[in-house]
Amino acid sequence: MLAFTLRRAIQAVGVMVAVGIIAFSMFRFAGDPVSQMVSIDTSGAEREAIRKTLGLDDPVIVQFGRYINNAARFRFGTSYQFRQPVTNLLMERMPATLELAICATIFAMVFGILMGVYSALRRDTWLAHLFQAISLIGISLPTFLIGILLIYLFSVTLGWLPSFGRGEVVRIGWWTTGLLTLSGLKALIMPSITLGLFQMTLIMRLVRAEMLEVMRTDYIRFARARGLTTRAIHFGHALRNTLVPVITVAGLQFGSVIAFAIITETVFQWPGMGLLFVQAVQNVDIPIMAAYLMMVSLIFVTINFVVDILYTIVDPRLRSTVSRAH
Amino acid sequence: MTEPVLSVRNLQVEFASRRGTLRAIDGVSFDIAKGEVLGVVGESGAGKSVTGLSVIGLIDPPGRIAGGEIYLAGRRIDNLPPEEMRRVRGKRIGMIFQDPLTSLNPLYRIGDQIVETIRTHLNLSEQAARRRAIDLLAEVGIPAPEKRIDGYPHEFSGGMRQRVVIALAICAEPELIIADEPTTALDVSVQAQIISLIKRLGRDHGTAVMLVTHDMGVIAETSDRVAVMYAGRVAEIGPVQDVVKNPLHPYAKGLMGAIPTLAGDDKRLVQIPGSMPRLSAIPRGCSFNPRCAFAFDRCRVERPEPLARGAQSVACHLYDSVPAESAA
Amino acid sequence: MSEAVVPHSAEKRTAAAPGWFRRVLDSDLLYSFRRSRITMIAAAVTLLFFLLAIFASVLSVQNPFDPAQLQLMNSRISPLWTADGQSPFLLGTDEQGRDVLSAILYGMRISLLVGVLGVVFSGALGILLGLTAGYFGGAVDGLIMRIADVQLSFPAILIALLINGIAKSVLGNKLDEMSMLGVLVFAIGLSFWVQYARTVRGSVMVEKNKDYVAAAQLIGLPAPVIMLRHVLPNTMGPILVIATINLALAIITEATLSFLGSGMPETMPSLGTLIRIGNNYLFAGEWWIVAFPGFALAALILSINLLGDWLRDALNPKLR
């Protein structure tokens, strides 16, 4: 178990170093950092001075070491457009993105599992067919179109929900939350659905397929032969065995949800990291782009690592093979 | 003797398929008395397993019981509503499947699976059910049951898992156990242990056992009576000694000829030519006629019905109005 | 049985065609196509969209991106069937007096162009890298496949956005419409190569150890050439499926980038750009400026996805 954890940890660090190289290359080679920081009439001498203070004359490997060192302490330099430390900008916006991503994931899990279980157990009912149709639409409609459609329905036509922003937020330490006010909660509804819909269809398809697969297994047949109630078979045995892979996938998808939030945040002008990133791409604000890449990668790698470890805890078979492997 | 524990009368099972309805079981009848072990033998596809599944009510669509009756201790069970049939399964009929490796849910401790089954059928507290589970594990021969009860299925060997499966099948003291190829997936060395365990349990508790297998050796060792099935019908049924020593049906003769004996006589094993017909292409008349060395015109036209010959019963035209000697 | 389904005339005509093409016809592909009504509708819609895009300039009432043809007095006209509709603007006009239908036709052309070129580029890149990885094996294989693994765990849109941003930074102000189109194709290509590479690599691994490769080498033929002839026909089916599904993904990605403001500029808009523009007028009640481009995009993607699903099922006998 320890060897397994260690191996996974080394892999995770490897990926982070690779991402660090990409982020550093972006920062260093994609355009000249100095020219981004000065105005056109800055003299050559002044440019040289800035170049020196940034250490851009040092050997590349030294610069890379410095970049990684800083990144490890969450220092990503100064934004070209905001003239503020990138870290501050990201931290300010992180609660908005995380709250949105968590709400979207909960929405996706709850409805995805319910719809998936229903369409697996009642395969030929009209409701199951409706769910299948919804899943096809959820996969085919681009996220931003769904957002626009929801805004048109619930903001423009019905006027029930706000079309942009987080509503009123409450500050708790450095964290800001929209979960404690009515307007904050209302503002969360449409962005969460927009962001979660794709995951929901994914989870629904997965639950349905897994459940149908599990229902065909010998141990379900044996459970029936033991005279267990339908309820115990469906929800005790079949669902539990279905949920192991489903939770893994949903967990692994959480990183994607954060990345996909870029689109949702733009549609709803949600003040999160994604919106910051989109603006950075438009304005060629490389330090923010590089920092965002590092942050999202870190989240990805952490989740992958945690899910791998959790998986072995949930599934007893893996636990012993893993501990036997070393 | 009183009423048989299980009585199957003229059972018919059909499967709907794209090519029309296939009849997997066509007019099967047999009884099993209290404490008796009935061996059901035949090639794969003969309908042995389907018969077992019909008795316990686990024929799933597209299959269905199309005709006949099944009685458990005199009470008809093939037409029970699903919920009542569920109460019969596990409580009055226990079932053992072929592959112990896949019969247990890998995510639950074996103790949880046994306790769950006990509490479904018997009104016991959690603790009482757990004590009973430990006793059961001890009875089926699992060493240190009070420790092993908290193990997961993957921590048990194949033979030990089959013992757990048997414990699950008998945990509510059923009147009938259906064992569907209980030893096929096991090592040869373990097979004998499992067979004698099933035999002992049947004897100790007076349980009737329906033992489905394609292994004549297992039947000869365990069963009191044997039913030979072919293409969804019972070809011959009778006391195991009679059928093994003096098989009447040409197919049963072939089957017995195909058992190697330890006596070591250098006669070559007899082989039955050809293979069993597919369900979609069962021949007219006696379904065995294309492979039968004794087949005559009547066999190709008319289906033979079971005829009593002493303690045996055989479905073959050779025994109809023809002296037995000429056939043997 | 399947041979009987194929008409003899078709067999004759394809006798000279490459092996995979014949196999496609020999399979019950056509048969399953004619049996699925929804697939036929999807194919018809896809074909219609391609034709509309190709003949956009003939079908449009105006060139929506030639400022000389736009008149401000025609701005914000609602669709023809509403009370304020005006001929010839079937689906209404936008802020600048641009005919929405014409804009959709021209935008569809850009969307499809970027999508098709992106798929071609990612396919070429993926096949090349897959062949390289499979043929050389060892460290080269390890490197390429590890990159593929890591990239696969990141959403394509994030990668495309990053590449887009880097390209902007490197090229600076030199980005005109056509080079933006190139950047999009490049970004999409780099985002979607992994699946092709994996498929081709797997097939190369299988073929590599077969006797004919050694035999070919013995008579002096270069192994890569020989393998290419065997590997490509074997992988054509799966690649076709990946390409179809990726076409939908590429169009979505382009539309999303354009919607986010990092794609096609307003002077040469794709469907995504049109939706971005139209989104600004949603609150003013001018729903048609965004609704019709959105509907066109959704219908296009849905049709291509349905075609892809059918193709996958039809070419994979295991699933039937």
**Chain A neighbors of B172, CB-CB under 8 A:** 227
Write down the mean pLDDT value for chain C. Answer: 79
Nearest CB to A221; choose among B97, B116, B117: B97
Q: Which residues, numbered 219 to 248 in chain C, qualify as contacts with chain A under a Cβ-Cβ cut-off of 8 Å?
A: 248
B299 contacts B282 by C-beta, under 8 angstroms: no
Cross-chain residue pair B154–A320, CB shorter than 8 Å: yes
Q: Which residues pair with B314 in a beta bridge?
A: B236, B307
C111 touches chain A (CB under 8 A): no
B161 touches chain A (CB under 8 A): no
Residues of chain A with pLDDT under 70: 1, 30-33, 35-40, 314-326
**Chain A neighbors of C157, CB-CB under 8 A:** 259-260, 262-263
Segment B235-274, tens digit of pLDDT: 899 998 888 888 888 888 888 776 655 555 555 556 777 7
Interface chains of chain A (3 or more CB pairs under 8 Å): B, C
- C61/A131 Cα distance (integer angstroms): 41
Q: Which residues pair with B21 in a beta bridge?
A: B16
Segment C165-203, tens digit of pLDDT: 888 777 766 667 788 888 889 888 888 999 899 888 888
Q: What ipTM does this complex have?
A: 0.83
A323 touches chain B (CB under 8 A): no
Cross-chain residue pair B97–A223, CB shorter than 8 Å: no
Task: Give the residue from A210, A213, A226 with the most B CB atoms within 10 Å of its CB, the best one to mutate.
Answer: A226
pLDDT number for residue B177: 92
Residue with tokens 């030990």: B160
A295 touches chain C (CB under 8 A): no
A241 touches chain B (CB under 8 A): yes
Residue with tokens 């097939």: C203
Closest CA to A293 of A304, A277, A307, A279: A277
Q: Return the residue of B nearest to A214 by Cα.
A: B105
pLDDT number for residue C273: 87
Q: Which residue has the higher pLDDT, B223 or C208?
A: B223
Contacts of B146 (CB under 8 A, 6+ apart): B134
For the sheet containing B63-72, what is the strand order?
A: B20-32, B6-17, B63-72, B75-76
- C173/C167 Cα distance (integer angstroms): 11
Cross-chain residue pair A259–C158, CB shorter than 8 Å: yes
Fold of domain C41-319: MetI-like fold (1.10.3720)
Q: Which residue has the higher pLDDT, C19 or C189?
A: C189
- B315/B112 Cα distance (integer angstroms): 47
CA B215 → CA B30, B101, B223, B271, distances in Å? 20, 20, 12, 15
pLDDT number for residue C319: 39
- B39/B202 Cα distance (integer angstroms): 13
Segment C115-172, tens digit of pLDDT: 999 999 999 999 999 988 888 888 888 888 888 877 877 788 888 888 888 887 777 6
Give me the sign of the Cα torsion angle A302, A304, A307, A312. Answer: negative
Mean pLDDT (whole number) for C98-123: 90
A148 contacts C282 by C-beta, under 8 angstroms: yes
Q: Return the residue of C nearest to A256 by Cα.
A: C155
Pairing state between β B63-72 and B75-76: antiparallel
Give A200 to chain B, closest Cα distance, Å: 25
pLDDT number for residue A323: 43
- Lowest mean pLDDT: which of A75-84, C38-47, C210-219? C210-219
Give A284 to chain C, closest Cα distance, Å: 6
Task: Give the residue from C41, C260, C309 with the most A CB atoms within 10 Å of its CB, the best one to mutate.
Answer: C260
Q: Is the pLDDT of residue B322 over 70?
A: no
- B169/B118 Cα distance (integer angstroms): 10
pLDDT number for residue A322: 45
- A216/C139 Cα distance (integer angstroms): 42
Cross-chain residue pair B106–A236, CB shorter than 8 Å: no
Cross-chain residue pair A280–C165, CB shorter than 8 Å: yes
A316 touches chain B (CB under 8 A): yes
- C73/C89 Cα distance (integer angstroms): 13
For chain B, give the percent of residues with pLDDT over 90.
18
Task: Give the residue from B88, B105, B178 with the most A CB atoms within 10 Å of its CB, the best one to mutate.
Answer: B105
C and A in touch (3+ CB pairs within 8 angstroms): yes
Nearest CB to A140; choose among C166, C170, C305: C305
Asked, as a colleague might, if the bond just before B62 is cis with ω within 30 of 0, I would say yes
Segment B123-154, tens digit of pLDDT: 889 999 999 999 999 888 888 888 999 988 88
Asked, as a colleague might, if the bond just before C88 is cis with ω within 30 of 0, I would say yes
**Chain C neighbors of A290, CB-CB under 8 A:** none
Contacts of C31 (CB under 8 A, 6+ apart): C5
CA B133 → CA A92, B8, B159, B168, C168, distances in Å? 58, 32, 18, 9, 70
Give A210 to chain B, closest Cα distance, Å: 15
Cross-chain residue pair C168–A284, CB shorter than 8 Å: yes
**Chain C neighbors of A136, CB-CB under 8 A:** 302, 305-306
**Chain B neighbors of A232, CB-CB under 8 A:** 116, 120
B263 touches chain A (CB under 8 A): no
- Lowest mean pLDDT: which of A58-62, B26-30, C71-75, C273-277? C71-75
Cross-chain residue pair B86–A241, CB shorter than 8 Å: no
C-alpha C291: how far from chain center: 22
Give the ranges where chain C is alpha helix by DSSP (H). 2-5, 8-13, 19-26, 29-35, 37-54, 56-59, 100-136, 138-152, 156-171, 177-191, 194-208, 211-218, 223-259, 271-279, 288-315
Q: How many CB pairs under 8 A join A and C?
A: 106
Q: Is the pLDDT of residue B328 over 50?
A: no
Pairing state between β B176-180 and B93-96: parallel
Could you please report the per-residue DSSP string of A223-257? HHHTT--HHIIIIIIIHHHHHHHHHHHHHHHHHHH
Closest CA to B235 of B165, B306, B166, B170: B306
Closest CA to B218 of B171, B187, B249, B184: B184
- C70/C77 Cα distance (integer angstroms): 13
Nearest CB to A281; choose among C255, C262, C298: C262
- B66/B69 Cα distance (integer angstroms): 10
How many CB atoms neighbour CB C315 within 10 A?
A: 18
- A286/A260 Cα distance (integer angstroms): 20
End-to-end CA distance of chain C: 16
C108 contacts C293 by C-beta, under 8 angstroms: no
- B228/B212 Cα distance (integer angstroms): 10
